[in-house]
Structure 1
Amino acid sequence: MTRVVSLFLPNWSTDRLRRKAGDAAPPAEAPLVLIGREGNRRVVLAADAAAQAAGLRAGMPVSKAQVLVPDLLIQDADPAADADGLERLAIWLLRLAPIVAPDSPDGIIIDSTGADHLHGGENAMLAGLLGRLTMSGVVARAAIADTWGAAHALARYAARPTIIVSPGHSRDAVAPLPLTALRLTPATVASLHTLGFERIGDLLAQPRAPLTLRFGPEIGRRLDQALGLSAEPIEPIRSPELVEVRRAFAEPIGAAETIARYIGKLVARLCEILEERDEGVRRLDLICHRVDNRAQAVRVGTATPVRDVKRLTRLLCDKIETIEPGFGIEVLTLTATVAEPLTRKQTVTSLVEESVPDVSDLIDTLMNRVGERAIYRLAPVASDVPERSVCRIPAMAADNNASWPTHWPRPSRLLPQPEVVETVALLPDHPPVSFTWRGIRRRVRRADGPERVFGEWWKRDAELIAVRDYFRVEDDAGERYWLYRAGDGENAATGSHRWFLHGVFG
């Protein structure tokens, strides 16, 4: 089932202008409009959130806008720069999925079929996307549906700020939306309103023939596109710097063996170009253009730059089962969407030294099956606070030679969050005599400590005088635990003096 993301940028023109101005941009609370000419009239072409809250709208005469908001900020609109910025944003979003295209003038369309699991699911993918845009100062809403038409309509008229429609439910989702969500001309919408049609559902309940006879085929085409009955191909945007190879077929292909054979040929041609540029692939996109005007994409990634034909061919062929050729594929396009310089390694042989095994091939296979985020390794961080002393890094990231301190033992298992325990203990420096964790009382036979950990005052003001006292304890069953008391046991300002279990020794 195809899944499409529509990204709606309601204030793209003004957001882009503020981002371009940087520190010189006017404050967000200052109403800003962009103006242009319609014939001999000067009209508002775009208004930011503050201007819209003051009652200003696109199409309003500039003179009226100045009367409504005396301190209004006015700048000339630049549609060409807006379109160019939208294309650059679409190219940046290629990191999400192989098929991305601008949806002018205020949106971007993404075919996310088969890509959401690489980003933690559709909810996580949209949350991460909108979060990055918000941090960049761009207001956005997004919707996911089965078709471009449905996602486009929902993003603009239903998303607050996101909406995800379950597969196969696009018809029910778009039925309550206004007619303008169908991307019909204003004249057609006005005529339909005259006849009493207000919602898309009103049109869905009507026979097509009278509508086509009166308004032409446009209404039926838009309805079919929204419901997935008619194809609406997305022409993916490509940066001119990307390395891309294509193969068109006189007769459409569909057998898995045939697709695999031509994948190998395309990879070989791509690697020849990359060798001339001394680069290797980090992300590879295969787009299959079908005869029914639909496109399917396969994406694979690598942990390190790769230019090995057999290895890249295998990674792509592992994904062939996800391709639905339909009535046949007429064009295959292979693009290195991310390429990096490939450093040559000199092979050193010795009678006494053993070569380090290369596990990057295994890492590539795993990350393309379960997602890049699921394959990682842990690295030390310069922090005395235990939960801050470790971070996730890519599986094949370079070793920075950092290590954890060894003067105090650390548990093999650290709990995600310290858990409160009930204890019997003498203050201020004695370990607990017993403690109750998860409903089970444990008597302490041996203990060592305390190890005092101070708060990192340069990160949070609340940690200015905060401390923790850690103890390693062993119970009657020989199990060893890592407990701490919040505070120094004397001054209440240093902590609550409650006890927590933070880790378990293996």
Structure 2
Amino acid sequence: MPRVVSIYLPTWPIDRMMRAMGAAAPDCAKPLVLVDQHGRQRIVTAVNAAAAVVGLRAGMPGTKAQALVPDLIVQHADLEADAKALDRLAAWALRYSLVVAADTSDGLVMDTTGADHLHGGEAAMAADVGRRLRQAGIMARIAISDTWGASHALARFAADESVIAPAGTAREAVERLPIAALRLPSDMVHDLRKLGFGCIRDLLATPRAPLALRFGPLVGRRLDQAVGQASEPIDPIRPPEMIEVKRTFVEPIGAAETIARYVGKLVVQLSAALEERGLGALRVDLVCHLIDGRIEAARVGTAQPVRDVRRLTRLLCDKIETIDPGFGIEILRLAATSVQPFATVQSSSSLIEAAPPDVTDLVDILANRLGSQSLFRMAPAQSDVPERAFVRVAANAPATAIVWPAEWPRPSRLLSSPEPIQTVALLPDHPPVSFTWRGIRRRVKRADGPERVFGEWWKRDAELVAVRDYFRVEDESGERFWIYRAGDGEDAATGSHKWFLHGIFA
């Protein structure tokens, strides 16, 4: 089932202007409006939050706004600059989806079908989009549903700033919203309200024939698009600098083997175009234009810039099974939506020096199947506290100067959180002679330690005097464990003096 994201930018013209002016931008805490010339009259086209609080709104005369707020800041609107900046923002959003377009003049729409798992799921993707836009000084409201119409309506008229409608619930999600959410002309909305229609549910319960006779086919089409009974293809943006190749078919294709054959041919052309510019692809999008107007797409990413034909072809062909060709594909497009300079390295002779193993191909295959969020490795961090001594990094992240501690070995498996154990110890500062973990009593045959770990006082006051004494112990069956006592065994302020199991050695 398709999934569509609508990003509504309620104060886009003002946010764009403030970013463009930089340090010279006016104080955003004061009422500010943008005005544009309409004939002989200046009309307010956008207001900031402070101006909206004092009753100003878009569409009112500029002279009236200045009369209501004497210290009002007035700036001239630049609709052309707003549209160009929105196209640039759509190009930026290609990192989330390969089908992105401007949605009127105040938002974006993205088809993220099958791509959300690459960003940790729909909730994580929506949160990341909102966070990045807020950091850039752009106010945004985000909605995700099965249709463009439903997402557009929810982003602009739902109460929450981020709304995710479960799959198959587009009708239920929009039926309580006002009829203005249907993207109808304002005069048509006004006439419908005069007839007593308040929300979309009222229109859905009304026979279509009288509505079509009075208002034409637009009302019925918008209703069908909102609830998913009519398709609404998105015409994706394609920046002029994007490296792209395409193939048009006289007879539509649909077999997986045929698609794979032409994908291979397009990859050859794309790799040649990348080589001419000295670039390598980090993200490649395969877009299929179907004869019924729909767009099916697939995306692959690489850990390092790539232009190897065989490697890219294999990654893209693995995605063909996710494409529904329907009644046939009439255009195949292949675009490198993220590129970097490609550094060529002269390889040394294998007789002199063995080349290091290259696992980036395997990393790419796993990342595209499982999602980049699911593929990582552990790297050491600067901390003596075991659970803080490592961080997750990308699978292909370069090594740093930080190394694992060599003085005291660490277990191959560290528990997500230390588990309490019951112990029998002869002396407070000695390892236990036996311990019980998960209901099994184990007699300690050998032990080594203690390794004393102090708390990190700069993180929180409770760790000023905190102490842990770690021991490596081996039971009678030869299994080895990493246990510790919370506290130094004497001073109660240093810890609870309870014992915990923190890791298991291989």
For normalisation by structure 2, the TM-score amounts to 0.89
Cross-structure match for 1:133: 133
Is 2:215 the counterpart of 1:215? yes
Matched residues in 1 for 2:71 and 2:204: separation? 47
- 1:5 aligned partner, one-letter code: V
Q: CA deviation at 1:485?
A: 5.2
Matched residues in 2 for 1:402 and 1:365: separation? 29
Question: Following superposition of structure 1 onto structure 2, how do residues 133-282 of structure 1 map, counting pairs within 5 Å?
Answer: 133-158=133-158, 160-282=160-282
Tell me, what secondary structure is at the counterpart of 1:502? strand
Cross-structure match for 1:415: 415
Larger mean CA deviation between 124-133 and 38-47 belongs to 38-47
* Alignment gaps of 5+ in structure 2: none
Cross-structure match for 2:464: 465
Cross-structure match for 1:36: 36
Is 2:99 the counterpart of 1:110? no
Cross-structure match for 2:296: 296
Matched residues in 1 for 2:498 and 2:83: separation? 58
Matched residues in 2 for 1:31 and 1:472: separation? 65
Tell me, what secondary structure is at the counterpart of 2:304? strand
Matched residues in 1 for 2:421 and 2:431: separation? 13
Structure 1's 441 and 180: CA in aligned 2 closer, same or farther, altered over 3 A?
Answer: farther
- 1:264 aligned partner, one-letter code: G
How many matched pairs?
A: 505
Tell me, what secondary structure is at the counterpart of 1:187? helix
Cross-structure match for 2:88: 88
Residue pair 1:36, 1:76 contacting (<8 A) in 2 also:
yes
Residue pair 2:471, 2:483 contacting (<8 A) in 1 also:
yes
Larger mean CA deviation between 83-92 and 63-72 belongs to 63-72
Matched residues in 1 for 2:72 and 2:441: separation? 68
**In percent, how many aligned pairs have the same letter?**
60
Matched residues in 2 for 1:132 and 1:423: separation? 50
Matched residues in 1 for 2:16 and 2:422: separation? 55
Matched residues in 1 for 2:310 and 2:34: separation? 54
Residue pair 1:468, 1:484 contacting (<8 A) in 2 also:
no
Cross-structure match for 1:16: 16
Matched residues in 2 for 1:281 and 1:356: separation? 22
Cross-structure match for 2:404: 404
Q: CA deviation at 1:77?
A: 2.9
Larger mean CA deviation between 436-445 and 293-302 belongs to 436-445
Residue pair 1:143, 1:159 contacting (<8 A) in 2 also:
no
Cross-structure match for 2:473: 474
Residue pair 2:469, 2:487 contacting (<8 A) in 1 also:
no
- 1:78 aligned partner, one-letter code: D
Structure 1's 485 and 81: CA in aligned 2 closer, same or farther, altered over 3 A?
Answer: farther
Matched residues in 2 for 1:427 and 1:501: separation? 19
Tell me, what secondary structure is at the counterpart of 1:131? helix
Cross-structure match for 1:372: 372
- 2:322 aligned partner, one-letter code: T
Larger mean CA deviation between 72-81 and 204-213 belongs to 72-81
- 2:248 aligned partner, one-letter code: A
Structure 1's 188 and 403: CA in aligned 2 closer, same or farther, altered over 3 A?
Answer: same
Matched residues in 2 for 1:491 and 1:50: separation? 58
Cross-structure match for 2:334: 334
Structure 1's 325 and 44: CA in aligned 2 closer, same or farther, altered over 3 A?
Answer: same
Matched residues in 2 for 1:447 and 1:40: separation? 91
Question: Following superposition of structure 1 onto structure 2, how do residues 478-489 of structure 1 map, counting pairs within 5 Å?
Answer: 479-484=479-484
Structure 1's 353 and 237: CA in aligned 2 closer, same or farther, altered over 3 A?
Answer: same
Larger mean CA deviation between 440-449 and 260-269 belongs to 440-449
Structure 1's 426 and 40: CA in aligned 2 closer, same or farther, altered over 3 A?
Answer: farther
Residue pair 1:450, 1:469 contacting (<8 A) in 2 also:
no
Structure 1's 66 and 294: CA in aligned 2 closer, same or farther, altered over 3 A?
Answer: same
Structure 1's 124 and 56: CA in aligned 2 closer, same or farther, altered over 3 A?
Answer: same
What do residues 223-265 of structure 1 show as CA deviations (whole Å, max 9, x unaligned)? 2222333332211112222210111122222222222221111
- RMSD over aligned Cα atoms: 3.1
- 1:364 aligned partner, one-letter code: D
Q: CA deviation at 1:183?
A: 0.3
Larger mean CA deviation between 179-188 and 342-351 belongs to 342-351
Matched residues in 2 for 1:216 and 1:360: separation? 57
Question: Following superposition of structure 1 onto structure 2, how do residues 491-502 of structure 1 map, counting pairs within 5 Å?
Answer: 500-502=500-502
Matched residues in 2 for 1:463 and 1:89: separation? 46
Cross-structure match for 1:362: 362
Matched residues in 1 for 2:110 and 2:439: separation? 50
- 1:311 aligned partner, one-letter code: R
Matched residues in 1 for 2:501 and 2:33: separation? 57
Tell me, what secondary structure is at the counterpart of 1:379? strand
Matched residues in 2 for 1:98 and 1:461: separation? 45
What do residues 172-211 of structure 1 show as CA deviations (whole Å, max 9, x unaligned)? 2221111111000110001111111111121122222221
- 2:317 aligned partner, one-letter code: C
For normalisation by structure 1, the TM-score amounts to 0.89
Residue pair 1:286, 1:335 contacting (<8 A) in 2 also:
yes
Cross-structure match for 1:347: 347
Structure 1's 352 and 80: CA in aligned 2 closer, same or farther, altered over 3 A?
Answer: closer
* Alignment gaps of 5+ in structure 1: none
Q: CA deviation at 1:479?
A: 4.5
Q: CA deviation at 1:427?
A: 10
Residue pair 1:447, 1:471 contacting (<8 A) in 2 also:
no
Residue pair 2:32, 2:51 contacting (<8 A) in 1 also:
yes
Is 2:357 the counterpart of 1:323? no
Matched residues in 1 for 2:467 and 2:62: separation? 63
Cross-structure match for 1:56: 56
